[in-house]
Structure 1
Amino acid sequence: MNERNRRVLISGASIAGLTLAHWLARDGFRPTVVERAATLRTGGNGVDVRGHAGEVAARMGLMPRIRELAADVRGIKFVDAADRAVTRIDMRTLDPESVEIMRGDLVALLRDATDATDAQILFGDSIQRLEQDEDGVTVTFDNAPADRFDLVVGADGMHSQVRRLAFGPPARFIRHKDHYFAFANTDAALGEDRCVTMFNTPGRMAGIYRSGNHAQAKAYFAFRSAPLDYDHRNPSVHKQLLSDAFKDQSSWHTKELLDSALADPDFYFDACAQVHMPSWSTNRVALVGDAAWCPSPASGAGAELAMVGAYRLAGELAAAEGHHHRAFARYDAALRPLVTAKQQIGPNLRLMIPRTRTGQHLRNALTHLPLLKAAATMERRTQARNARPLPEYMPPR
């Protein structure tokens, strides 16, 4: 390919950033990934590789390993305070073609795929300032010397620093969905094997995610709340917020789960929110993944959109021979219908975290009916009819 806009800086070494780096390197670009963390972040919850994300993974040669490492969680069980099952949902019947894998396992596979290319990863650093001009972007880092890149892509999550620097403050784009969530490591003995076990009180949920292929289980929490003003990078504050939300809860295994979560150094807490933007690019800076369109954890589509979005962005840049304005416009047009559809999260939050006890009883009654399976089948058929084929971007000669 020609030399136009070959040097690309990617902020964020997670699913979107690593997928983008792999495909850019394959297509003749010279990507560098900068990651705030000192090492690869291998924690996290289960994520679904579904739809076109499975095709992207297959084209990277990763699907056999993804299937080997699949979490093998078969269903969701809702329990009462005495740990008696009140209803179950068989997840395999709702989306049989999806493969669930722990986020850390998927990131490690993507890192291996990226390492096989010429992409570089700079750990323990982050972007401090961006200065765009007609010919490129001057980037100031927290630690490394300032450098010059042709393009910059923010793949740095819902709280994206690149988005803040290039597009404006978070309040312009983040829409709160009235809930907060947390997860952390916990004792696997507290939950049923190959199952997500959930216990509800009005407006709150505590649960255990126990993979069939992993010794370590995950504690899950969610609670309803208006937007909270807090430092999203301060784990001590996050733990205090979760403690305040559940400190009066002693039913079921809630106290044990809370104690293990508060003691876990890999504890994760964030808002259930979405990112909505009129454009995912401004001149030489673009966004991908949660930085651009976070669909919220309730959608179950974060990994799918991250992988498909990164693949399409790299492919459009290659197809446009580095002409970034043309590539960014095509990328936006190609992805926006899928993103819009996935951001319609429907009744998921109301099912998982009913606001009232009456809501809990209604949810439990509904799950005994074949409505969920029928709705899921109809949704899959609708998506299949409306799905656009995933293009095969050929590497440059």
Structure 2
Amino acid sequence: METWVPVPNGSGFGVHNLPYGVFSRRGELPRVGVAIGDHVLDLAELAAAGLLADRRWFASGTLNAFMAAGRAVWQATRDRLTTLLTDAAYRDQVEPHLVPLSDAEPRLPFDVADYVDFYSSRDHAANVSQIFRPGGDPLPPNWLHLPIGYHGRAGTVVLSGTPIVRPCGQRRGDDVPVFGPTVKLDVEAEVGFVVGVPSALGRPVPTAGFRDHVFGFVLVNDWSARDIQAWEYQPLGPFLGKSFATSISPWVVPVAALESARTGPPAQNPEPLPYLRTDEPWGLEMTLQIELNGHVVSRPPFARMYWTAPQQLAHATVNGAALRTGDLMASGTVSGPTRHERGSLIELTWDGRDPLVLPDGQRRAYLEDGDTVRIQATAAGPDGAPIGFGEVTGTVLPVIC
């Protein structure tokens, strides 16, 4: 497909993508838009002009109402937008509703209902085990049988660009714990999916129901205070070491845009229990890129994730837990087998024992005040067209405790 909208070469926001977001212009209320090239298409204005079906979904500060409308509405809207952006006969009517991205202030795209973070990269899990338990079993005994996860704090999910204040908490001391700012502030490069259609309490969602409930994918940085986490996590898992901030990208890439990126995940042995089995390949051919202060430090491959998104969704609901519109579920750190494919500083520096040396001579074991982290990702699209996720960024601010 060709679009009449100018799309720069290599842009991840071509007509095959059409990611949704929420934006505002100076002096105007937020509304829903779709990214195309270097522009965002104002869906509220498009609907007001009679060019797009709307039930007040788009003149809104969040995507939640549209996400809850369901798969048939998502597909019909996508089909209509594709027609409007590829048929030159509509250009004169649609072009006035294109806003330069530089003039559009992004907003948090959806109201987060719940937040769950998984632990689905075998490479990451093995690396962390080797760091803390050298010579021990590389994986916990349950890891190959279920997608391990923890419940995060929805109220601290923030938009890309939001500054990250260094958190305080208890850390292990020589004899007694000490209180103060974390000295092991870390990043976790992840991919998350957001639920559109809710489910009933007591009704598990099968892996085959993924497309009927999940609206799309975002980039995630699950900021982590490793020293606080290490002191608190036994026996109930992460708490304050994770809940101070989680950043997400402003654009939600629809599930339908990622059909060409789907690939077979790593072989699962032993075979998962029946509720975790899938009839389709749901690995995603996708590469992330982590930058620290403008320098690329890693390119983690998402296709190596052991547990897939439909399996994560099925496991999260198998006990009858209900889904709500806006539930965010993140993949866990995305890592690969080599050092330059690791998705966190704890792995990249082996818990600070082998610090990164950046091209400008700076050394980093963990993040310092003033550091800026930028995570991007690109998935494989049809005919080689890239599917972009935009970016998720954050700059570390000094502690205030």
* TM, length-normalised to structure 1: 0.26
Q: Counting helix residues as a fraction of each chain, which structure ranks higher?
A: 1
* TM, length-normalised to structure 2: 0.26
